[in-house]
């Protein structure tokens, strides 16, 4: 398992620049290797920080991208809580990724979370076949409680091993009904990238990195690289020796 690599920046704006370079390179490398770039997006603050610079990057071969969602809320695509809507507004509307290579939750199934999760497995199979999906990059955020995707502390979904996509109707972060990738898929990625900004994340980041508390985000692994892009606020309580 790769050791976590932590990159600290003065501001969210600097993270946007670093992410632009990192994702452009990851996309270039993946396309050279396999002819495509497979990536997942999360909700929350991530899409804005990601898109700030990347959306104007003309070196990226957007036509080779396949975009999935690490987790999604069971709401229509035009709902304010939709991670798809957020990603669309921040990034997808500005870049030429073919529509059939963007994979949102099936809008016809948002009132049946089990069916929506099953359908999302089929969407994964349409790109990855029957093999366990291995994303080039998952882009993840963390909550102040240490959750990532919709995997919350103490929740039974943390132990799911027999499905690629699970659903819940008791998310402590609203809205309650969601679908989420499970650890078997998340941890089978080539690279997992966490993007963490603001003082509100300083305690949890210290708990995960310095104290190695087994919070959901701390259980994320990767085949090759496990990367944290953090700003000074989020890294405010990190032990000085950790960054050496």
Q: Nearer Cβ to ligand 6PG, position 138 or 188? A: 138
- Which of 148, 181, 189, 204 binds ligand 6PG (CB under 6 A)? It is 148
Contacts 24+ apart (CB under 8 A), 107-114: 107/76, 107/77, 110/74, 110/75, 110/76, 110/177, 111/74, 113/74, 113/167, 113/168, 113/169, 113/177, 113/178, 113/179, 114/167
DSSP assigned state of 98: -
116 binds ligand 6PG (CB under 6 A): no
Nearest of 197, 179, 186 to residue 220 by alpha carbon: 186
137 vs 37: CA distance, rounded Å? 8
- Which of 4, 43, 104, 233 binds ligand 6PG (CB under 6 A)? It is 43
Residue 129 Cβ, how far from ligand 6PG at the closest point, in Å?
26
220 binds ligand 6PG (CB under 6 A): no
Q: Nearer Cβ to ligand 6PG, position 64 or 181? A: 181
Q: Nearer Cβ to ligand 6PG, position 83 or 192? A: 83
173 binds ligand 6PG (CB under 6 A): yes
What 3-state class would DSSP assign to 127?
A: helix
Structure tokens at 128: 């990855």
89 binds ligand 6PG (CB under 6 A): no
Which residues in 140-167 are b (16+ Cβ under 10 Å) and which e?
A: bbbbeebbbbbbbeebebbebeeebbbb
Residue 213 Cβ, how far from ligand 6PG at the closest point, in Å?
17
123 binds ligand 6PG (CB under 6 A): no
104 binds ligand 6PG (CB under 6 A): no
| Farthest-apart Cα atoms in the chain, separation | 51
Indicate the pairing of strand 71-73 with strand 4-9. unpaired
- Which of 44, 107, 153, 218 binds ligand 6PG (CB under 6 A)? It is 44
Q: Nearer Cβ to ligand 6PG, position 26 or 204? A: 204
Which stretches of the chain bind ligand 6PG, using CB under 6 A? 42-46, 70-71, 83, 141-143, 147-149, 173
């Amino acid at each position: 398992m790769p050791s976590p690599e932590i990159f600290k920046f003065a501001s969210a704006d600097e993270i946007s620049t670093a992410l632009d370079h990192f994702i452009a390179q990851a996309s270039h490398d993946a396309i050279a290797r396999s002819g495509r770039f497979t990536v997942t997006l999360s909700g929350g603050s991530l899409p804005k920080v990601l898109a700030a610079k990347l959306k104007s990057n003309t070196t990226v071969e957007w036509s080779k991208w396949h975009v999935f969602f690490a987790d999604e809320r069971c709401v229509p695509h035009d709902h304010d809580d939709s991670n798809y809507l957020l990603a669309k507004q921040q990034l997808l509307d500005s870049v030429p990724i073919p529509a059939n290579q963007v994979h949102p939750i099936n809008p016809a199934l948002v009132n049946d979370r089990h069916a929506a999760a099953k359908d999302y497995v089929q969407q994964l199979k349409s790109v990855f076949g029957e093999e366990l999906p291995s994303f080039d990059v998952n882009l993840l955020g963390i909550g102040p409680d240490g959750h990532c995707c919709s995997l919350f502390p103490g929740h039974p979904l943390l132990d799911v091993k027999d499905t690629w996509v699970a659903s819940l109707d008791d998310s402590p972060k609203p809205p309650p009904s969601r679908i989420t990738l499970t650890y078997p898929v998340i941890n089978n990625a080539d690279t997992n990238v966490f993007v963490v900004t603001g003082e509100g994340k300083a305690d949890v980041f210290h708990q995960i990195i310095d104290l190695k508390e087994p919070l959901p985000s701390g259980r994320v692994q990767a085949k090759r690289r496990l990367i944290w892009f953090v700003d000074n606020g989020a890294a405010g309580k990190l032990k000085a020796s950790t960054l050496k």
